[in-house]
Structure 1
Amino acid sequence: MGWMITGALFEIVWAIGLKMSEGFTDPFFSVVTVISIFISFAFFTKALTVVDISTGYAIFTGIGAAGTAIAGMVLLGDAFDLKKIFFIALLLTGVLGLKLSGETAGDKKGVS
């Protein structure tokens, strides 16, 4: 799960970096964004060795989406309201439910 969370954290970095790079016109944030994309997917790829793709992708994108929404509100001044917080919490509850109910990649019969 550590691979997944680390990858999702870098997904948040690159998503915020896209905004901060101003259409890839700011060299610093452009480089940070591109490097974060590669790191994010490297960790996600590693996580998929122990988690099924169906569960893994949902967890990865769910954490990334929730984290990016929160980071946008905190760091970039995106609109904040309780409905958004409720639905972010609902999204994270669904991600947690998927993680708790999902099989790992090696748990299926006949797969070693």
Structure 2
Amino acid sequence: MAWLYLIIGGIFEIGWAFGLKYAEGFTNIPVAILTVILMILSFYCFAQSLKRLPISTAYAVFTGIGSFGTALIGMLFLGDAVSVLKVIFVFVLISCIVGLKFVSSEPKRKEGA
């Protein structure tokens, strides 16, 4: 369940990253409100994942999902510059995120917890 929270939190992070861009310095009030809601949801999910995952892994995956998703959406739908090197580095990033999942283990629960 911790990994699910982490993935959902990362997806919300993608949303608030774009919200920051389109909130126009928080002058576009509807977008700014949505952005703050997405920030709260993102950090709530991240905090829930930290109950079971080590901070080093969780934070790297959380920010990696946000970075990967933001870069991908920007390149595919928003006209961000695309180059072979950029695509390679984005896929290296996601490979590292997946690798962290495979090498990380959830700490064992204490009895009565």
Q: TM-score, normalised by structure 1?
A: 0.90
Gaps of 5+ in 1: none
CA distance in 2, matches of 1:71, 1:29: 18
Which residue among 19, 22, 25 is the counterpart of 1:23? Answer: 25
Q: Write the mapping of 1:1-112 to structure 2, written as runs, cut at 5 A.
A: 1-106=3-108, 112=110
CA distance in 1, matches of 2:81, 2:56: 31
**Runs of 4+ residues deviating >2 angstroms:** none
Q: CA RMSD in A?
A: 1.2
Which digits, 9 at most, give the CA deviation of each residue in 1:1-37, with x for residues without a partner? 1111100000000000000111111111101110000
Q: What SS does the corresponding residue of 2:93 show, helix, strand or coil?
A: helix
Q: What SS does the corresponding residue of 1:51 show, helix, strand or coil?
A: coil
Q: What SS does the corresponding residue of 1:49 show, helix, strand or coil?
A: coil
Which digits, 9 at most, give the CA deviation of each residue in 1:19-70, with x for residues without a partner? 0111111111101110000000000111111211111111111111111111
Aligned-pair identity (%): 43
Gaps of 5+ in 2: none
Q: CA deviation at 1:81?
A: 1.8
Q: TM-score, normalised by structure 2?
A: 0.89
